[in-house]
Amino acid sequence: MPAGRPMRADARRNYDKIVATARVVFAERGTDCSLDEIARRAGVGPGTLYRHFPTREALVDALMKDWAGRVVRDAEAAVTADLPARATLMTWFESFVEHITLHRGAAAKLCAAMDDPSSPIFGKCQIMGEANRRVLDHLEARGELRPGVDAQNVMRIIGGIASVTDSSRVDLDVRPMLEVVVDGLVTD
């Protein structure tokens, strides 16, 4: 991002207050909570919130500041652990699901943004996509992946599992589902 000139002190203060409050409220009520409530609890007017974050996704994006680093780190860890393909994929996919379901409702938003370059969180999807490709390429190079598998589609499948799990009333275990996908990806 172009630096522009530094933010004015009050702007910076409010920006930070909003982000901090959003983190709390998103955790409490999920990503679809009222934005005006966040503004109220942050002690700013709604106008201030919307000036800093024109859309809900822009706010979600701001919360994911250090998220990208964690994603890349986990992908790298899965690769360097140098385990059998099945274990590598399971580890990575579990991380994937965990990252994408940080807040309730986030998974569906991320999935929807995967093919929407105009979305503020499209960049995050790209990062996720690159991390995912990193893992798959590694396995492919070792011939442990079935040919013709598109990394983007793998991301969609795992994203779908995460979304469904996230929107379910009950607490589901994603691993059996991930195992099916893993079995569908590895060569035997």
Partner DNA sequence: CCAGAATACGGAGACTGTCTCCGTTTTAGC
Partner DNA sequence: GCTAAAACGGAGACAGTCTCCGTATTCTGG
Q: Which residues contribute to the site for DNA (CB under 7 A)?
A: 5, 7-11, 13-15, 34-37, 43-48, 50-52, 54-56
- Could you tell me if 41 and 25 are in contact, meaning their C-beta atoms sit under 8 angstroms apart? yes
177 part of the interface to a copy of itself, by CB under 8 A: yes
The residue ranges of DSSP E strands in the chain, in sequence order, are none
- Could you tell me if 144 and 85 are in contact, meaning their C-beta atoms sit under 8 angstroms apart? yes
For a copy of itself, the closer CB: 73 or 187: 187
170 part of the interface to a copy of itself, by CB under 8 A: yes
27 part of the interface to a copy of itself, by CB under 8 A: no
Q: Site map for a copy of itself, 93-122, x if CB under 8 A?
A: ---------------x--xx-xxx------
Residue count, binding to a copy of itself (CB under 8 A): 35
What's the closest the beta carbon of residue 51 comes to DNA, in angstroms?
5
Burial of 29 (0-12, 13-18, 19+ CB in 10 A): middle
What residues have CB less than 8 Å from 104, skipping those under 6 apart? 26, 29, 30, 31, 32, 166
Instruction: Provide the 3-class DSSP secondary structure of residue 145.
Output: strand
Residues near a copy of itself (CB under 8 A) are 108, 111-112, 114-116, 146, 149-150, 153-154, 156-157, 159-165, 167-170, 172, 176-177, 179-185, 188
